[in-house]
Amino acid sequence: MLDASWFTEQVPDAGSAFSLKIKQKLHTEQSPFQYLEIYETESFGNLMVIDGCTMVSTRDNFFYHEMMSHPVLFIHPDPKRVWIIGGGDCGTLREVLKHPSVEHAVQIDIDERVTRLAEIYFPELCESNNDPRAELKFIDGIKWVKDAQPNSVDIIIVDSTDPIGPAEGLFSEQFYRDCFNCLTPNGMVVQQSESALFHLKLIGEMRGAMSRAGLSHLQTLFFPQCLYPSGWWSATIASKAPLASFREQECADKAFSTVYYNSDIHKAALAQPEFFKQAMTAESV
Ligand code: SAM
């Protein structure tokens, strides 16, 4: 048994847990939407926890933020308008704004407190918040997308918490229909899609709902993320139009720095494990 100097996220359904040794608790609060905790850890820098689930750490957030943004931005032929639904720690926004083609990026998180805490405890993730192309909104992303004008966005990145509480509706067919309506003809959604080892059924259901909503060209990509359950995470891209190959040469020549993502990682992330292919064929998605 671990003592109180460890933070542990248990995943009872999977009979597993992940722990980090804690130096000190820096902050706790109940926001109007969720319970927020910030810790200083021994070896992962600062850690944000929402409703008991690990969200972001200083040390390993680059895997997630880079893989939620760069693959889809290099697949889209000319991404100009990007929305990030959730993403309150601002790390995905920072990565999106590294792309010079992006003219306007809106981050729509339901909970302003997540961003205010990120500004204090993860300032490096918030360093592009004052970019003139950036806009921060603090409202429900489900309503934002439902009320949006047709043809108004190229890419929607759904950087949400797990499909419980305020994020539940972000995994619904109705939400994907609303996304379809406001995307441009070659528009696409990318959504964090949990772990293929622990949440295969959820990924199948999510891909089915995306498909039925008209976002029928699908690609799930895989990447490591030791903070999250199973240590192996995924994102699913869902497009109106057939998915082109990515702009490989532009990716190889990119003028900005990344820690994990590059053109070889892009190709490797698209490789589909055998059990995943079989499960998705069985689900017909
Ligand atoms: N990287 C994380 C993960 O996969 O576990 C996600 C991090 S990000 C901090 C998740 C954000 O989604 C939170 O800030 C939360 O407030 C936001 N969120 C949850 N439901 C939402 C909704 N309906 N609309 C907008 N933002 C939402």
| Catalytic option among 159, 162, 178, 253 | 159
- Indicate the pairing of strand 134-137 with strand 6-11: unpaired
Mean pLDDT (the chain, rounded): 96
pLDDT digits (tens, 9 = 90+) for 6-22: 999 999 999 999 999 99
- Does 253 participate in catalysis according to the annotation? no
| Torsion angle defined by CA atoms of residues 7, 8, 9 and 10, in that order, rounded to the nearest 10 degrees | -160
Measured from the CA of 88, which atom of ligand 1 is nearest? Answer: 14
Helix (H, G, I), strand (E, B) or coil at 54: strand
Distance CA 182, CA 258 (A): 30
Ligand 1 center to 87 CA (angstroms): 5
Ligand 1 midpoint to CA 231 (Å): 19
Give the residue, by CA position, lying nearest to ligand 1 atom 8. Answer: 87
E strands present in 68-114: 81-86, 104-108
283, pLDDT greater than 90: no
Give me the amino acid identity at 190: V
Confidence at residue 165, expressed as pLDDT on a 0 to 100 scale: 86
Question: Quick one: CA dihedral 262, 186, 191, 142, positive or negative?
Answer: positive
Annotated domain spans of the chain: 6-57, 61-284
pLDDT at 3 over 80: no
pLDDT, tens digit, 9 for 90 and up, residues 189-199: 999 999 999 99
Instruction: Reply yes or no on whether the pLDDT at 284 is more than 70.
Output: no
Q: Is the predicted pLDDT of residue 4 greater than 80, yes or no?
A: no
Q: Are 234 and 271 in contact (CB under 8 A)?
A: no
Residue bearing the CA closest to ligand 1, atom 1: 55
Is 0.95 topped by the overall pTM? yes
Query: Which residues contact ligand 1 via a Cβ below 6 A?
Result: 55-56, 64, 85-89, 108-111, 114, 140-142, 159-161, 166-167, 170, 192
Pairing verdict, β 183-192 and 232-239: antiparallel
For the stretch 38-47, contacts whose Cβ atoms lie closer than 8 Å and that sit 24 or more positions apart, written own/partner, are 38/117, 38/121, 39/7, 41/7, 44/20, 44/227, 46/121, 46/122, 47/7, 47/20, 47/227
pLDDT in tens, 64-101: 999 999 999 999 999 999 999 999 999 999 999 999 99
Query: Which atom of ligand 1 is closest in space to residue 56's alpha carbon?
Result: 1
CATH of domain 6-57: 2.30.140.10
Q: Longest Cα pair distance anywhere in the chain, in angstroms?
A: 54
- In this structure, the residue with its CA closest to atom 20 of ligand 1 is 167
Domain 61-284 has CATH 3.30.300.130: no
